[in-house]
Every structure is written in C-alpha cells, then in structure tokens.
Amino acid sequence: MKHKLIVGNWKMNGSMQSSLELVDKIITHNSPAPGDKISPHYVICPPAVYLQELNKVINKSVVKLGAQDVSEYANGAYTGQVAAEMLKDIGCDYVIIGHSERRQYCGETDEMIARKFLAALAQNITPILCVGESLEAREANQTEKIILGQLNAVIDIVGAEKFAEGVIAYEPIWAIGTGKTASPEQAQEVHAAIRTLLISKLPKEIARKMMILYGGSVKASNAASLFVMPDIDGALVGGASLDAKDFLGIGEAAKMPHTN
C-alpha cells in the first residue's frame, strides 16, 4: 500500500510569526516514536522568503519542505528568480511546478514548465507538476485532452524515465479556491486517464508507483471521499493548509486504506 502524500501550498500568505506557529503545530502532531510507520507523508510549501528559517525547525522532523516555484535556469542574470541549487541549499526536497496561477499570471508555458522540471531534478528536488482544465474546457468535454496534452508536452521534453521521478497534481482550475471540489468520481476519472497515459509510457510498476495528487478545495470534510479512489494518492491543498487543524484533518483522512 502506498503512503499518501499531503502537500500544503501556502501561496502568498502569512508572516514569519504565523508561519513558525503553523509549522510548530504540524510538527508537534507528527512526532512519531522510533519504529512508527509514517503515514501520510507531509510536505509544506511556504513563501520563498520563509523557507530558510522554517527549515531550521522542519529539518528535525518528518515533515518535508517544498518551494512554490523554481527558475528554469541554473544561475545568472535572472533578476528575482530562485535557482534549484539555492532551494536545495536551504533544505527543499520538493517544488511545485506549473501551478495554474503561474500559468495564468506569469505566462508559464509547457516548455518553461518542462525546463523547471529538469532544473529541479538536477538538484534532487522532486517536482510536483500541476495540470488542470478550465471550466470552459470541462463544459466542452475537453478535460482529458487538455490534461493529457499538458502532461505529454512535459514528457516529450524531459523523457518518460525522468518524468517518473516527479509527482503529478491534478487541479481543475474551476475547483481552486472556489469551494467547488471535483466529485470523487470526476477526479478519479481524470486520475485514471493519467494513470493509463503513464502505463503507456513506463513499466507498469513504475507507472503505478507514481503519485497523482488531487487539488482544488480539498478540506478535512471531503478528503476521505477523495482518498478512497484507487488513483488518488494524496492532495495538494491551498486554503485549508493555512489552518493546522484543517490541514492535519486532511492528513487524518489519508490514514484510511487505499482500495487497490
């Protein structure tokens, strides 16, 4: 059975003080005794400026640290950008890539996202690749085409073998921050299509091992119904990750057994 992965995307929220308090609550809840099985696995992705300070607290815990973005370049004259090597330097093990907010507000293309994916892997940072369709695309029955297109665009550039080192997050844009979660069946349908794509590109056991997270208004109250779906391996959580009780509640739901 796979351990579920619960990732908190704090976006551009909080202060140094509130971030330290939130991390403290998450870590206190996740202090396993030696020999305890760690389930689920937690990753938090705070704003970049707080990563280094939070790592001082987090690196003694089982919780992992992630960034919300990374430069596609290794170093150089790229004002305002942060390189993967720098993220590794301050303790990041994960990075969110291609979030729909960055695709929309920062004009990130599939090609840029693929280069960010490779930049992260080059530093042993696990990329969490976000894909998702708009409401118009869903209503026009284009969901699968859009999602598989976004994934194939990255696979074509990075290659299937390297792609398998990442994590996928399916986040329908219409469900992000709207309170409208995809139904477990709607999410599973897309996750199953993603799994089928992976199986067509990779050895079966590797394709099955790849983590496919769901994101979009995940809360403690709806997490369990999503997590019983066979291809939902965890969650990428925005709003509810800013409240320790809500975030840990999602983690509690992830302790339920996987059905496959």
User: Contact positions toward ligand PGA, by CB under 6 A?
Assistant: 9, 171, 176-177, 215-218, 236-240
Out of 41, 72, 99, 133, pick the active-site residue. 99
Residue/partner pairs of 200-205 with CB below 8 Å, 24 or more apart:
201/155, 201/160, 201/163, 202/160, 202/161, 202/163, 202/164
Nearer to ligand PGA, 9 or 150 (CB): 9
Q: Which of 101, 108, 133, 171 is catalytic?
A: 171
**Minimum separation from the CB atom of position 250 to ligand PGA (A):** 10
Q: Which is nearer to ligand PGA, 72 or 171 (CB)?
A: 171
Least CB distance from residue 17 to ligand PGA, whole Å?
A: 22
SS (H, E, C) the chain: CCCCEEEEECCCCCCHHHHHHHHHHHHHHCCCCCCCCCCCEEEEECCHHHHHHHHHHHCCCCCEEEECCCCCCCCCCCCCCCCHHHHHHCCCCEEEECCHHHHHHCCCCHHHHHHHHHHHHHCCCEEEEEECCCHHHHHCCCHHHHHHHHHHHHHHHHCHHHHCCCEEEECCHHHCCCCCCCCHHHHHHHHHHHHHHHHHHCCHHHHHHCCEEEECCCCHHHHHHHHCCCCCCEEEECHHHHCHHHHHHHHHHCCCCCCC
Provide, rounded to whole angstroms, the least separation between the CB of residue 176 and ligand PGA. 4
Report in angstroms how near the CB of residue 107 gets to ligand PGA at its nearest.
18
Residue 237 CB, nearest distance to ligand PGA (Å)? Answer: 5
24/152 Cα distance (integer angstroms): 39
The residue among 202 and 229 lying less far from ligand PGA, judged by its C-beta, is 229
Active site annotation includes 53: no
Residue whose CB is less far from ligand PGA, 27 or 182: 182
Catalytic residue check, 171: yes
Which residue lies nearer to ligand PGA by CB, 160 or 186?
186
* Residues assigned a catalytic role: 99, 171
